[in-house]
Amino acid sequence: MASVVRGVYHIEVYRALCKACGLCTAWCPQAVLEPDAEGYPLAPGLANCINCKLCERHCPDFAIEVSLAAVEKRA
């Protein structure tokens, strides 16, 4: 039985690619992401991330990545 594990994901934003368009924050269903003063995404709600990858799939600039890095780090 699959279940959604919370709080184990890692979100990486590549500032060099990001254009601060705001799509990732608009799509996040869990309010994980919030824009900073310049519009770049921060992840203050990372604990709520469910790895749905909507932010990643709707990033037109390949600048955001959700991974299981946190799990790997713990292991």
Partner 1 sequence: MTAPAPPTQLQTSFILREYLRPQMLPSTWCPGCGLGIILSSIAQAVHFRGLAKDQVAMVSGIGCTGRMSGYADFNTLHTTHGRAPAFATGLKLARPELTVITVMGDGDAMSIGGNHLVHAMRRNLGLVAVVVNNSVYGLTGGQLSPTTPVGGHTTTARAGSFERPMNLEALARAAGAAFFARATVNHSFGLTKMVERALSGPGFALVEVISNCHVLYGKMNETPEAAGMMMAMDANTVRSNPTLQRRARLPVRLTDAETPAVPAADARPLAGVQTDTRLRRGVIFERRGRVDYSGRYYAQSAPPGDDEAA
Q: Which residues bind to partner 1, rule: CB under 8 A?
A: 12, 16-17, 19-23, 26-27, 29, 52-54, 56-65, 67
CB of 44 to partner 1, least distance (A): 19
In sequence order, what are the residues at sequence separation of 6 or more whose Cβ sits closer than 8 angstroms to the Cβ of residue 72? none
CB of 75 to partner 1, least distance (A): 15
Residue 46 or 64 with smaller CB distance to partner 1: 64
Strands 64-67 and 34-35: unpaired
Residue 8 or 54 with smaller CB distance to partner 1: 54
Q: What are phi and psi of 74, to 5 degrees?
A: -65, -40
Q: How far apart are CA 61 and CA 16, in angstroms?
A: 10
